Amino acid sequence: MIRYGVDSFRGFRGQLRYWLSARDVYGSIALMVTIAFVLGITPFLVRRNSQGESSLEQSWYGFLNAISRWLLLAYCYSFINLSNESLIGYFMRNHVSQISTKLHDLAGILVAIITFILPLLLRKYFLRSVKIMVRVDQQLERLQSPVNFHTVVGQVVLVALLIVVLDTVLLTTCLVCLSKMEVYPSWQLTFILVYELLAISITICMFCLMTRTVQRRFTCLHKVLKNLSHQWDTRTLKAVTQKQRSLQCLDSFSMYTIVTKDPAEIIQESMEIHHLICEAAATANKYFTYQLLTIISIAFLIIVFDAYYVLETLLGKSKRESKFKTVEFVTFFSCQMILYLIAIISIVEGSNRAIKKSEKTGGIVHSLLNKTKSAEVKEKLQQFSMQLMHLKINFTAAGLFNIDRTLYFTISGALTTYLIILLQFTSNSPNHGYGNGSSCCEAYNNMTNHTL
């Protein structure tokens, strides 16, 4: 009985390990692509033919699903516009804010287009990026430095679960705070709040998955180059004959594998791999660039005004009605800030890790250049060095700004400036932005309330 239970557990563990493992790049992205397909973000699905070969194929249902989700969001925006409903309007409402809210409803439709319709038009870039990665994996396997796919799917599952838990906790907290303040938004407004947040979360995960894919290929490329450096250091690299090329010498006590190819050939293939990785990263950036610009811009605006309302309340400048309890009010806007802060940090860190990993290639190449004695190998390394100077990976938001850690400094400076201006404006205003007068801060905030 006990032995049967142990065997059953081992069988289940083996099936789970097989399900969480991947054999190629298609298997590593299959789960995230499927989730994006269900949400209407992408029309692609990973499918396997009768020979067991995987491919990324587009489905007409994916196009219909994305368009239907956009139409549903358009209906929700139209409904809340006709009913004059807005989330911030439950807390503060005046003549100017009503006009700005209607203008923002139109902007919300444009945001939905960028999130659900534009990826359909740019789908060729995503497909091309994945195909380039397949070519990279084939070349890395020829250099005996294959990509380890065993933990990729497990990491994707873990990230997906973290997203579900985080979004559920923060959204539940927001809805509980609204109910305690006796604010009950319609299902259309709630749907916009929840669905846009899910779409943004999955889009960010897909971008981070692609940057992680780029980072993982650079790691394998670095192993190939470090292998050469290790062999030169230990003087194990010898003239390679035709007979030696047919042999594969493995050292089970070393992390390095003795390469049986000529060093000049290895460097030439490494240059091709580096070029393909950079091309894949640039192609992926073309697919995500407008989505990233939209997410970062909206997140910045929400963070600015949520921080303003929280500081205004904590500093005692706010004279709100008694039903709006301070604790619930501050918790509600703080949760929104946390959500979009995490969104910006995830985008920046995913991009920055891939960029930093690519920058390490130059140091390894120049280390090899200083060690080599062969004129042919030295010429190849000099060509590689020139390629590194002119070919670098870079992620941008529609070319307007780079997505790296310098963005933290830019956002922090702009956030501080706008908060000081808003707080000074409130202090200098005769009615402190409340009462019967209209606050321009409230009006402008209503322009961003439906992106929460």
Quickly list H helices, 113-251.
118-121, 123-142, 152-180, 187-233, 242-245
pLDDT in tens, 395-442: 999 889 999 999 999 999 999 998 888 777 665 554 444 443 334 344
pLDDT at 428: 56
54 forms bridges with which residues in the sheet? 48
Higher pLDDT, 249 or 25: 25
> Percent of the chain scored above 90 by pLDDT?
22
| Contact indicator for 221, 274 with CB cutoff of 8 Å | yes
Contact 40, 69 (CB under 8 A): yes
| Residue 312: partners with Cβ closer than 8 Å, 6 or more residues away | 318, 423, 426
Cα dihedral: 92, 96, 101, 102 (round 10): 150
Structural tokens at position 91: 């807390």
* Model confidence pLDDT, tens digit, residues 127-183: 999 999 999 999 988 888 888 777 777 778 888 888 888 888 888 887 787 777 777
Q: Angle 61-66-72 (CA atoms, 0-180°, nearest 5)? A: 120
Q: Span 55-83, mean pLDDT?
A: 85
pLDDT for the residue numbered 351? 94
Contact 229, 221 (CB under 8 A): no
CB atoms within 10 A of CB 35: 19
Reported as a single tens digit per residue, the pLDDT across 313-352 is 777 654 544 445 677 778 877 888 888 899 999 999 999 9
358 vs 6: which has the higher pLDDT: 358
Closest CA to 292 of 216, 401, 376, 192: 401
Task: Tell me the pLDDT of the chain averaged across its residues.
Answer: 77
For residue 170 the two structure tokens come to: 């923060």
pLDDT for res 40: 87
Rounded to whole angstroms, the Cα distance separating 432 from 419 reads: 15
Buried (b) or exposed (e) across 232-256, using 16+ Cβ within 10 A? Answer: beeeebeeeeeeeeeeeeeeeeeeb
For residue 408, the model assigns a pLDDT of: 93
List CB contacts of 344: < 8 A, sequence separation 6 or more: 296, 299, 300, 303, 407, 411
**What is residue 90's DSSP assignment?**
G
Tell me if 59 sits within 8 A of 45, measured CB to CB. yes
| Residue 6: CB atoms within 10 Å | 10
165/337 Cα distance (integer angstroms): 17
Helices first, then strands: H and E counts in the chain: 14, 2
pLDDT for residue 273: 93
Alpha helices in 46-112 (DSSP H): 60-82, 95-112
Q: What is the pLDDT of residue 237?
A: 40
CA angle, residues 442, 317, 330, in degrees to nearest 5: 70
* CA distance linking residue 415 with residue 326, whole number of Å: 23
How is residue 382 written in tokens? 């000099």
> Is residue 247 left, alpha or beta, with left meaning phi > 0 and alpha meaning psi from -120 to 50?
beta
State yes or no: pLDDT of 261 exceeds 80.
no
68's CB contacts (< 8 A; 6+ apart) are 40
Q: What pLDDT band is residue 221 in, cutting at 50, 70 and 90?
A: very high
pLDDT-derived band at 17 (thresholds 50, 70, 90) equals low
Nearest to 379 by CA among 255, 229, 263: 263
pLDDT at 451 over 70: no
Token pair 């707080």 is at which residue? 423
| pLDDT confidence of residue 436 | 38
Q: Is the pLDDT of residue 47 over 80?
A: yes
CA atoms within 13 A on the CB side of 175: 14
Q: What 8-state DSSP symbol labels residue 41?
A: S
Would the pLDDT of 51 be above 80?
no
pLDDT at 235 over 80: no
| CA–CA dist 238, 410 (Å, integer) | 52
Residue-wise pLDDT tens digits, 203-214:
999 999 999 999
C-beta of residue 86 within 8 angstroms of C-beta of residue 80:
yes
Name the CA dihedral angle for 314, 320, 321, 324, rounded to a multiple of 10 degrees.
-40
Rounded to whole angstroms, the Cα distance separating 129 from 109 reads 29
pLDDT-derived band of residue 54, with 50, 70 and 90 as boundaries? confident
Q: Which one has a higher pLDDT value, 101 or 59?
A: 59
* Closest of 285, 303, 278 to residue 393, by C-alpha: 278
Q: How confident is the model at residue 357 (pLDDT cuts 50, 70, 90)?
A: very high
